[in-house]
A and B are shown apart, each in its own frame.
Chain A
C-alpha cells in the first residue's frame, strides 16, 4: 500500500458520495443500539427502497449525545435527528430535502457540541466503522504509510514524545518515554498490547472508540509496533463488549486484506499482526502485569514491579502496553505533528481527553475536550447542568481508584495534576455526576464493595483490608458504627494504600479518603446521629425505630 493507493481509495469513496450525496447515518454504537437503533436503520432502509429516493442508509459509531438517542445524522446538510423511532422513518425520508420535523431536530449549535474538540473522536459518528474504505477516506492509515515509508522508528518515538501524550489509561505516564524504553530494550521478540479491558464502572470511552472507529486503534498499534520493533500485537477486550469485539474482528480482517497487517507491511521490512484476547470479567486485569498473566492464560494476578513490562512483559519479553485512547491519538499526532498536539491542553497535560459523562446530568454521553477545561464547564455547559431541580453535589472521576470532587473545586482545570491535588485521579475518563440525592457514605461503600470483590486476593492488605473497610462502611450505613470505627477506617485507608501490591489496592481507599475530605459531616451524621441526609441508608430506619 502506498500513499497514492490510499488516495485512490479515498477518491472512490468520495466519488460514490458525490454520486449519491444524500445519506442517513444511524448510530449503531452500544448506547443507541440498546434503544433498538438497528431496527430504525432497517426501517429507514425499507422506506428508502419503497420510495426509491437516492439516499444511502448506513450505520455509524457514537455521535456523543447518547441521552437523546437514538441519533441519526443526515447528509449532506449535517442535520442531527434525536429520539428517532421506527415510526419516524417515513417522515424522515419524505422530508429528506426539507427541514426535518421539529420534534426530531437536535441543534448542533448547543454548547454540548460547540465546546468540544475532537481528536480521538474525529471520525466517531461520521464514518461507518465496518468499512475500512471510509476510514481511509477520512485520512486513515496515512500516518502508518508515512511512518513506514518516510520515518525511522526513533523519529516516531520522538514525535510521540514531542506531542506530550500521557497514558490515557489513568496513570498518565508519558507515552513517548514508554515507547522509547521498549524500543531500546533488547529482546528476541517484542509485543504491543492494547488494554481495552475498560473496567471502571461508569466509563465507556474505550468501548465507544472501538465500536465507532476501530481502525484508528489498529493504526496506532501498528505504528507503535514499528516504532518499538515489535512483531505481534494483542488487544485485550472485555467479554462484556461483544459489539466492540465484532467490529475489531472485522477491522483486523480488513486491515489484513489491504496489507496493513501481515508481513512486509507497505513493502517495509516490517511484519506485524494483531490478535484479540477476550477478558473474563476481572477489573484487576486492567493492571498491566495482571493483564499479561491473563493473556498468558493464567489467573489475572499482578506481580511486583520492577521489572516493568517494558523490560520483561509478555512471556518475559519487552512489552509495550497502552490503552485504547492512547493508541487512538497516535494517527492524528503523526498526521498533524507532535507540536500541534502539544499546542492543545495545559502545560503538563497535553492534548484532549475523552470523558464518559453520566449520572445526574442533563446531557449524558461521550465528550472530548482539551485538557485543562474546567469541570464546571464540562458539567454545566456541555453537560447542561443537573436535571429535575436537584442541586449538584459531587462529580466522581477515576472510578473505584478515584474520588468525589465537591462544588468548591469545580473551577478546577481537568488535568492529571490538579485532579490528583483534590484527591481524585484522571483515571480512564469516567465522570459521574451526583446530585443531592446521593449519600457520600453510601457511594464510598459502593466503591469499596467493588474493590473488595475485584481484589485478586494475592496480597493481604488489599484482600483482607478492603473486606474490613467494607464492613466498617456497612456499619456506618446501617447505623451500627461507633466513632472508633471511623478511626479504624482511616487507619486502614492509610495502610492499604501504602502497602498493597498493585494499583487496585493502593487506590482502593481513594473514594473513602476523598469523601471524608469533603463530606466528613455526612460520616459523622451516620455514626453519631444515625442519620442519612440523602435518605438512602438504612440507618434512618433504625433511628425511627428507636425514636
Chain B
C-alpha cells in the first residue's frame, strides 16, 4: 500500500488552491476551473508531455514546465497565461499547421477539430512559417475507418489508447523526427492489420481529422474522447 498522498497548497494564476501530492498542476488547475490548453493529453491515458501546449511558468524557475506531468508542490506559484507562454503556444500551433497539410476547409473534422479550436482560441489567424507541403498518403483500406496522414499531428493518443486501453497495440510510429509516421503493424494497410480489433477507440480520441469513421464524413459528428474517463471510473469502481 502506498502511503496516503499528502495535501499541498499552491497558487495557480494567483488563486490559492489545494491538491493532493499525486496530482499534476494540470489536474489541480482543471479542478479549480482554470483552463490550461493541451493537445497530447487525454484523461485516462499515460502522459507523454510532448505537445508543449500546457507549459507553465513556475516562480523561481527559469525553465518552463509541462503542467500535465509536473506534480504539485507545497508553495508552488504557477502562472498559466503570460505573453511569453501565449507566444510559444501560438508558435506550436503554427508549426503544426505548417508541418503537414491541414486544409481545414475540406477536412472531415472541420469545425470539430481540437487543432482548429486551439488556433482560434489563441488568435492564430495565419501561419508565418513556410508550409512544408509534404506528400502524404491516405489509408482507406479499413472497412469502417480511414487514416489521413495529412492531418496527423503525431500526438500518439491513438497509439496509447490502442495499447493501454484496448491492449492491441496496432498503432505505433515509424521513423523519427519530422519523418515520423503513424503505422499499423508492420507498416501495412490498416485494413490488413492482424491485430486491429476495429474497436474504433483511436478514432474517438484523435483530436483532428487524421483518424475518422468513413460513415460519418460530413455528418458533423463530434468525436467522443470522454468515454475513456468513463472506462476508467468503471474499472476503478470494480477494484
* A adjacent to B, CB under 8 Å: yes
Given contacts A467-B132, A468-B95, contact A459 B50 (CB under 8 A): yes
A263-301 contact mask (Cβ, 8 Å, vs B): 1 or 0: 000000000000000000010100000000000000100
Chain B residue nearest to A457 in the complex (CB): B180
Given contacts A454-B177, A455-B178, contact A501 B50 (CB under 8 A): yes
In the complex the two chains form, is B92's CB within 8 Å of A460's CB? Answer: yes
Q: Is A529 an interface residue (CB 8 A)?
A: no
In the complex the two chains form, is A460's CB within 8 Å of B48's CB? Answer: no
- Kindly list chain B residues whose C-beta atoms are within 8 Å of the C-beta of A495: 87-88, 91
- Kindly list chain A residues whose C-beta atoms are within 8 Å of the C-beta of B154: 457, 463
Q: Is B126 an interface residue (CB 8 A)?
A: no
Q: Of residues 107 to 153 in B, which have CB atoms within 8 Å of A's CB atoms? A: 128-130, 132, 153
- Kindly list chain A residues whose C-beta atoms are within 8 Å of the C-beta of B64: 498-499
- Kindly list chain B residues whose C-beta atoms are within 8 Å of the C-beta of A465: 95
In the complex the two chains form, is A459's CB within 8 Å of B52's CB? Answer: yes
- Kindly list chain B residues whose C-beta atoms are within 8 Å of the C-beta of A491: 91
Q: How far is the CA of A460 from the CA of B153 in the complex (A)?
A: 9
Number of A-B pairs, beta carbon distance below 8 Å: 90
In the complex the two chains form, is A464's CB within 8 Å of B52's CB? Answer: no
- How many of chain B's residues touch chain A, expressed as a range? 20 to 34
Given contacts A458-B50, A499-B52, A499-B64, contact A463 B130 (CB under 8 A): no
Q: A217 → chain B, closest Cβ, in Å?
A: 29
- Which listed residue (B50, B51, B130, B173) contacts A471, Cβ 8 A? B130
In the complex the two chains form, is A461's CB within 8 Å of B177's CB? Answer: no
Q: Of residues 420 to 463 in A, which have CB atoms within 8 Å of B's CB atoms? A: 452-461, 463
- Which listed residue (A284, A458, A468, A488) contacts B48, Cβ 8 A? A458
Q: Is A533 an interface residue (CB 8 A)?
A: no
Q: Of residues 247 to 269 in A, which have CB atoms within 8 Å of B's CB atoms? A: none
Q: Is A389 an interface residue (CB 8 A)?
A: no
Q: How far is the CA of A299 from the CA of B159 in the complex (A)?
A: 14
Q: Is A303 an interface residue (CB 8 A)?
A: yes
Q: Is B98 an interface residue (CB 8 A)?
A: yes
Chain A residue nearest to B95 in the complex (CB): A464
Q: How far is the CA of A304 from the CA of B70 in the complex (A)?
A: 9
Chain B residue nearest to A451 in the complex (CB): B177
- Which listed residue (B47, B55, B128, B178) contacts A463, Cβ 8 A? B178
- Which listed residue (B48, B84, B92) contacts A461, Cβ 8 A? B92
Q: A94 → chain B, closest Cβ, in Å?
A: 56
Q: How far is the CA of A303 from the CA of B178 in the complex (A)?
A: 18
Residues on B lying within 8 angstroms of A by beta carbon are 47-52, 55, 64, 66, 69-70, 84, 87-88, 91-92, 95-96, 98-99, 128-130, 132, 153-154, 173, 175-180
Known: A452-B177, A460-B51, A460-B52. 10 other contacts (CB 8 A): A303-B49, A304-B70, A454-B177, A458-B48, A461-B52, A461-B92, A463-B154, A467-B178, A495-B88, A499-B64
List the 4 closest pairs (A to B, CB-CB), nearest first.
Answer: A464-B95, A457-B180, A304-B49, A455-B177
